[in-house]
Amino acid sequence: MIRAALLGLFLGLFGGVAAAVDANEPFDDPVLNERYQSLIREIRCPKCQNETIADSNAPIAADLRRQVHQRVAAGQTEEQIVEFLRSRYGDFVLYRPQVKPSTWALWAGPFVFLGIGALVFWRVLAGRASQPLDDDEAVPDEDAAT
C-alpha cells in the first residue's frame, strides 16, 4: 500500500511515461487502474532490449499485460502479481529490485554516499574555515554580489 503510494509519487517526478497502445480495457475503478498502470511500468519485457511491458510491442509483452490485467481484475494485490511473474521469469523482470541480502548494497548505497558526502563537506569546511581568507594572487572580482 505504502509502496504503491511511494511508487506513484516518485514515478511522478521524473519517470518517463511511455507505453504501447494497450488492447486491454481500462478499469472503471481508479484504484485498480492505478495498480494496473503502475505494475505494467515496473515489469520488464523478458525478450526485448530493456523495455517495460507497457512500452513494448512484442507479443510476449502483450501476453504479460493481459495476465496482469486479468489478475488485477481478479483482485490480486501488487505483491501477489509480482511474485507470480517473479517465480516464472526470475528477478530479471522486475525493474524495482527486491530488497534481499544481495541487494542491500544497492538500496543502501546512495544513502551511504550521502553520509560520506556530508562527512567530506564538514571535514573540508572545518579545514578551510581555519585558514586565512587572503589570497596570494588577487583576481578581478567579476562575480561580486552587491
Q: Which is nearer to another protein, 75 or 126 (CB)?
A: 126
Shortest spacing between CB 78 and another protein, in angstroms: 12
Q: Which of 109, 129, 132, 133 is nearest to 121 (CA)?
A: 129
Q: Which is nearer to another protein, 35 or 44 (CB)?
A: 44
Shortest spacing between CB 100 and another protein, in angstroms: 10
Q: Which is nearer to another protein, 75 or 101 (CB)?
A: 101
Q: Which is nearer to another protein, 2 or 105 (CB)?
A: 105
Name the H helices within the chain: 2-14, 30-40, 59-73, 78-89, 104-129
Shortest spacing between CB 75 and another protein, in angstroms: 19
Q: Which of 90, 92, 89, 104 is nearest to 50 (CA)?
A: 92
- Cα–Cα distance between 109 and 115 in angstroms, integer? 10
8-state DSSP, 41? T
Shortest spacing between CB 95 and another protein, in angstroms: 3
Three-state SS for 129? Answer: helix
